[in-house]
């Protein structure tokens, strides 16, 4: 049964504007487009696809992820949707804690959210990829960097000093695009040679410094904003000017370190910690 875009919109409960958007993105194209009038026609069999897309969007799955999901079989799609929702629940829990911290700050209460410690970090040579990204694109950016550094075997540097980390140089949300920088420490003696193998990455040297950090252990997650709040609250309690928690006047962003301890398997979760450098 063929129907006009208006009828299909009514039955699918998607607006014609949404249907035109999904067509442009290759998510849901009309079964037929009239060559003379340009009118779009859909088939009843496409209603299930339309409702699936609508449901995924209702739970705030980004459009790029929707396109990836609908290309999968039902079982694999179910697995990926479960993983997406698990991440969303973790994110929502972090947002709830961030609101609590904000209310405490506004009402003059001092709350110890996480235990903060300090550590010394040596000078390091870093291969980096820096980009302005909004929140919906953040995960894809991390996967892109991981794919780049995974394509070739890089010399390992043990411990936190050699772990991959990301720096939030600015707020990342649906409105603010950071930027965010991903960094992979490499041996200084081989840094220039390794940089030639990765023309898409930038080589830079980070000076030695102290860091205030929050250790969350395997699989632990909180939002960068909440970590930033915790570290700044700690700085205030220590009598430290927040501007001192930086390597440069511009660097006031929190960094996330991902330390994977062998043996690494498909179910392994790296240790996470959030840190902010001392000047």
Question: Which percentage of the chain shows pLDDT scores above 90?
Answer: 27
Higher pLDDT, 152 or 156: 156
Residue 266 predicted with pLDDT over 60: no
Q: What is the mean pLDDT of residues 1-16?
A: 88
- In the block, tokens 């300090």 appear at 118
Domains of the chain: 2-70 (1.10.1660.10), 117-277 (3.20.80.10)
Per-residue model confidence (pLDDT) at position 145: 93
Which of 126, 121, 81, 76 lies closest to 212, judged by CA? 121
Higher pLDDT, 102 or 86: 86
Per-residue model confidence (pLDDT) at position 253: 64
- 229 vs 236: CA distance, rounded Å: 11
Ranking 13-17, 120-124, 226-230, 274-278 by mean pLDDT, the lowest is 226-230
Per-residue model confidence (pLDDT) at position 249: 44
The answer to whether 157 touches 186, Cβ cutoff 8 Å, is: yes
Per-residue model confidence (pLDDT) at position 124: 94
Per-residue model confidence (pLDDT) at position 69: 92
Which of 245, 277, 274 lies closest to 257, judged by CA? 274
Query: Distance from CA of residue 20 to its chain's centroid?
Result: 28
The answer to whether 259 touches 218, Cβ cutoff 8 Å, is: no
Q: What is the mean pLDDT of residues 224-228?
A: 64
pTM of the model: 0.60
Per-residue model confidence (pLDDT) at position 155: 82
Rounded to the nearest integer, the mean pLDDT of the chain is 81
Residue 38 predicted with pLDDT over 70: yes
Per-residue model confidence (pLDDT) at position 224: 58
Q: What is the mean pLDDT of residues 43-59?
A: 90
Helix (H, G, I), strand (E, B) or coil at 97: helix
Within 10 angstroms of residue 78's Cβ, the number of other Cβ atoms is: 12
Higher pLDDT, 216 or 19: 19
The pLDDT-based confidence of 105 (bands split at 50, 70, 90) is low
Per-residue model confidence (pLDDT) at position 177: 86
Model confidence over 128-138: pLDDT tens digits? 999 999 877 88
Higher pLDDT, 254 or 75: 75
Model confidence over 79-97: pLDDT tens digits? 989 888 887 777 776 667 6
Per-residue model confidence (pLDDT) at position 156: 81
The pLDDT-based confidence of 279 (bands split at 50, 70, 90) is low
The pLDDT-based confidence of 190 (bands split at 50, 70, 90) is very high
- 226 vs 242: CA distance, rounded Å: 15
The pLDDT-based confidence of 232 (bands split at 50, 70, 90) is confident
């Amino acid at each position: 049964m063929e129907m006009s875009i208006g009828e299909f919109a009514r039955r699918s409960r998607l607006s014609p504007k949404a249907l035109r958007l999904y067509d442009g993105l290759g998510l849901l194209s009309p079964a037929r487009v009239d060559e003379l009038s340009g009118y779009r026609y859909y088939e009843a069999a496409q209603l299930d696809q339309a409702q699936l897309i609508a449901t995924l969007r209702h739970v705030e799955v980004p459009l790029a992820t929707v396109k990836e999901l609908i290309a999968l079989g039902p079982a694999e799609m179910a697995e990926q949707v479960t993983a997406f929702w698990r991440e969303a629940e973790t994110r929502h829990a972090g947002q709830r804690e961030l609101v609590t911290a904000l209310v405490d700050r506004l009402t003059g209460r001092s709350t110890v959210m996480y235990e903060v410690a300090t550590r010394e970090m040596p000078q390091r040579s870093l291969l980096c990829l820096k980009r302005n990204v909004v929140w919906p694109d953040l995960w894809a950016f991390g996967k892109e960097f991981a794919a780049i550094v995974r394509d070739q075997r890089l010399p390992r540097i043990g411990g936190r000093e050699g772990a991959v980390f990301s720096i939030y140089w600015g707020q990342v949300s649906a409105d603010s695009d950071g930027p965010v920088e991903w960094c992979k420490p490499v041996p200084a003696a081989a840094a220039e040679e390794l940089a030639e193998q990765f023309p898409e990455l930038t080589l830079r040297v980070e000076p030695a410094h102290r860091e205030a950090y929050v250790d969350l252990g395997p699989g632990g997650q909180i939002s960068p904003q909440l970590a930033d709040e915790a570290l700044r609250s700690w700085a205030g309690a220590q009598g430290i000017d927040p501007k001192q928690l930086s390597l440069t006047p511009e660097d006031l962003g929190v960094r996330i370190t991902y330390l994977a301890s062998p043996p690494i398997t498909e179910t392994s979760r790296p240790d996470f910690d959030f840190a902010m450098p001392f000047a």
